[in-house]
């Protein structure tokens, strides 16, 4: 039987009077790569933060590894890796210091944390800055460091929020391969991004959040059959009822030209 890793049932979340999530439900099985997409402000990061226990004050059920988050226990986090959309890194540390610190926080002994940090940085093409301060890293190098830090403890469930921000085309190919191989080995990945062609190619299932509810949930082929025959970008436009990009673009440029 396929193992359920994650269950969300009738999840609702308000910020003040604003309803962000209005009855979101889905289940995720071991080994799935979920592409979690939706317009800006749809509530994707909010859903992820609730699952990570960073945001509370929600209604509905959130169950991870068979454990309901409302019991307040945090042990489940040991088996989770997270790349946030926006992250603060300790700029004064070197990559080596940062990653061994994170590895030890996750319970790895120092030698293993050091070995994995160095190897993973080398394999991701940033081995030469292992002993440089993070303040000197480029945007893509910082992003790679974040990805490595989310994986050091070999987690079962990964939350990636715009993980390929700033990565060059070759590095994106490596990252896609890493995701595919992790999923093939039974890791579950919850992947939130606006880069539709990557989501289309990498996800075993796509969930589209719109107006606080799930507007679509299925494989890319299932979504194509139910909607436009075309790219995920076209399906996204159709399901979110958006067709004014040309008109909005030209009105935007008209205002720019006003002097
Ligand atoms: N701490 C907060 N206080 C008040 N409102 C918030 C807070 N965090 C998020 N929101 C609001 O909740 C809504 C959903 O935000 P969220 O960051 O989850 O969207 P998102 O789908 O991840 O968007 P994006 O694609 O732009 O990253 C937005 O309207 C945002 O302004």
103-127 pLDDT per residue, tens: 999 999 999 999 999 999 999 999 9
Residue 88 has pLDDT above 80, yes or no: yes
Distance 121 CA to ligand 1 centre (A): 32
Whole-number Cα distances in Å, 102 to 84, 98, 119: 15, 6, 15
- Residue 56 near ligand 1, beta carbon < 6 Å: no
- Residue 46 near ligand 1, beta carbon < 6 Å: yes
Residue 8 · residue 34 · CB < 8 Å: no
- Residue 45 near ligand 1, beta carbon < 6 Å: yes
Distance 125 CA to ligand 1 centre (A): 33
Share of the chain above pLDDT 90, in %: 75
Distance 38 CA to ligand 1 centre (A): 12
Distance 25 CA to ligand 1 centre (A): 19
Alpha helices per DSSP H over the chain: 44-51, 95-105, 110-123, 139-151, 169-184, 196-202, 220-226, 232-239, 245-257
Find which of 83-92, 180-189, 242-251 is predicted with most confidence, using mean pLDDT. Answer: 180-189
Residue of the CA atom closest to atom 4 of ligand 1:
15
- Residue 44 near ligand 1, beta carbon < 6 Å: yes
| pLDDT bucket at 1, cuts 50 / 70 / 90 | low
Atom of ligand 1 at shortest distance to CA of 192? 22
Could you give the CA distance from residue 202 to residue 211 in angstroms, rounded to a whole number?
Answer: 25
Residue of the CA atom closest to atom 18 of ligand 1:
43
Read off the pLDDT of residues 16-71 as tens digits, 9 standing for 90 and up.
999 999 999 999 999 999 999 999 999 999 999 999 998 989 999 999 999 999 88
Alpha helices per DSSP H over 26-123: 44-51, 95-105, 110-123
Residue of the CA atom closest to atom 9 of ligand 1:
46
Residue of the CA atom closest to atom 13 of ligand 1:
41
Mode of pairing for the β-strands spanning 157-161 and 80-83? parallel
Distance 48 CA to ligand 1 centre (A): 11
- Residue 141 near ligand 1, beta carbon < 6 Å: no
Token pair, residue 150, equals: 């989310």
């Amino acid at each position: 039987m396929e193992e359920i890793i994650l269950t969300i049932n009738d999840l609702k979340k308000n910020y003040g009077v604003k309803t962000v999530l209005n009855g979101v439900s889905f289940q995720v099985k071991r080994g799935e790569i979920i592409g979690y997409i939706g317009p800006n402000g749809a509530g994707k990061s909010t859903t992820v933060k609730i699952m990570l226990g960073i945001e509370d004050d929600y209604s509905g059920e959130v169950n991870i590894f068979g454990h309901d988050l409302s019991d307040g226990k945090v042990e489940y986090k040991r088996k989770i890796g997270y790349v946030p959309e926006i992250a603060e890194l300790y700029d004064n540390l070197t990559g080596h210091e940062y990653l061994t610190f994170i590895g030890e926080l996750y319970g790895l002994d120092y030698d293993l944390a050091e070995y994995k940090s160095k190897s993973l940085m080398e394999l991701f093409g940033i081995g030469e800055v292992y002993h440089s301060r993070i303040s000197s890293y480029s945007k893509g190098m910082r992003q790679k460091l974040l990805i490595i830090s989310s994986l050091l403890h070999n987690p079962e469930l990964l939350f990636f929020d715009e993980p390929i921000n700033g990565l060059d085309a070759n590095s994106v190919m490596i990252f896609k391969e890493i995701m595919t191989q992790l999923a093939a080995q039974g890791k579950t990945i919850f992947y939130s991004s606006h880069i539709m062609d990557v989501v289309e190619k990498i996800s075993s299932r796509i969930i589209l959040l719109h107006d606080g509810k799930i507007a679509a949930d299925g494989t890319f082929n299932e979504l194509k059959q139910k909607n436009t025959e075309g790219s995920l970008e076209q399906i996204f436009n159709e399901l979110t009822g958006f067709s004014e990009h040309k008109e909005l673009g030209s009105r935007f440029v008209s205002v720019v030209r006003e002097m």
